[in-house]
Amino acid sequence: MIHIENLSKQFNKVLAVDHISLDVPPSEVMGFLGPNGAGKTTTIRMLAGLMKPDSGTIVLGGYDLASEPEKSKAIVGFVPDRPYLYEKLTGWEFLEFIAGLYGVERQELNKLGMYYLELFELLDWKDELIEGYSHGMKQRLIISAALLHKPKIFIIDEPMVGLDPRGVRLVKDLFTQMAKERGMAVFLSTHTLAVAEEICSLITIIHKGKIIASDTPANIKSTIARTGGNLEKAFLKLTGHEEIDNLKGSLGLVGLSPE
C-alpha cells in the first residue's frame, strides 16, 4: 500500500534522509522509530506530499505521488506532529470544512463525524470553539477529521502526544481495528517504544537518515541476544554509541541499507 524506493532529502550539507526503501502492505501498522534528528519527520513530510524529495519514488495505493498527487493524497489521512486547526471554528465546523475538502457527502459526514466525536468524547464540545479545547482534545479532533474520508493509508507523526491514558488507549485500539478490519496501512512515527511494541506489526528503525532495521518487533528483539529481547534495549543499542556496522552483521533483518 505504501512503497518507498531510494528516497533521499538533503538540507545544505546534511543528508537528512539517505536513499531509504521500505514497504507497508495493507492491514499492517508500521512503527517508524529513531532518535531526534534521525529523519523521521522529514520522511513523513515527503510521504504526505508536503516536501519534495531530492530523489526516489513514493507510491501510495498504486499512485505515484509525484505524477498523480491528487489521486494519491485522496486516499491518505495525515496528522502532522504540529497540526494546524482553525481555532475560531467549532469542532463540528472544522469537521465540515475537512469533509468539504475531501468531497465527503453530508450524510456520510453526519454519520462518521458523530461517530468519531462520540468515540473520542468530544460530542459535548462539538459546538464549542476549538480555541477552548485542551491540547489532547485538539489531537483527538484532528485524528477524527483525518478519518472522515475513509482513507486507505493513515500517516501520523507522534500520535500520542498530549493524550491522556484513556485517549492513548482509544487511539491504539482504533489503529489496530482500522488495520485489521478495513485493511488500512498505518504509518506512525513515535518515540514511545511501548506503543510501537504493543500495536505495530512492523517496525522500521532509522538512524542518521539510514534504515538500520526493518522487521517485526519479535524478530528485531530475537536477533539481538545481547539486549535480552527487549525492544527498548534493542533500539538504544542500535542507535547508541556502539558501531552500527558491528550490529548489522548479527541482525539478518529485511530492509537493511548499506553504509
In the chain, where the domains are located: 2-75+154-251, 86-150
Q: Residue 24: left (phi > 0), alpha (psi -120 to 50), or beta?
A: beta
The pLDDT value given to residue 52:
96
CATH number of 2-75+154-251: 3.40.50.300
What interhelical angle do 231-239 and 244-251 show, nearest 10? 130
Would you say residue 186 has pLDDT above 90?
A: yes
Q: Is the pLDDT of residue 190 over 90?
A: no
User: Among 18, 25, 20, which Cα is nearest to 2's?
Assistant: 25
Does the pTM surpass 0.75? The reply is yes
Contact criterion met (CB below 8 Å) for 66 and 58: yes
Tell me the three-class secondary structure of 108-122, residue by residue: HHHHHHHHHHHHCCC
pLDDT at residue number 231: 62
Lowest average pLDDT, out of 79-88, 158-167, 216-225, 238-247, goes to 238-247
Q: In the chain, what is the greatest distance between 2 CA atoms, to the nearest angstrom?
A: 57
110 to 104, 115, 253: CA distances (angstroms): 10, 8, 46
Contact 71/245 with Cβ under 8 angstroms? no
Q: What is the pLDDT of residue 14?
A: 92
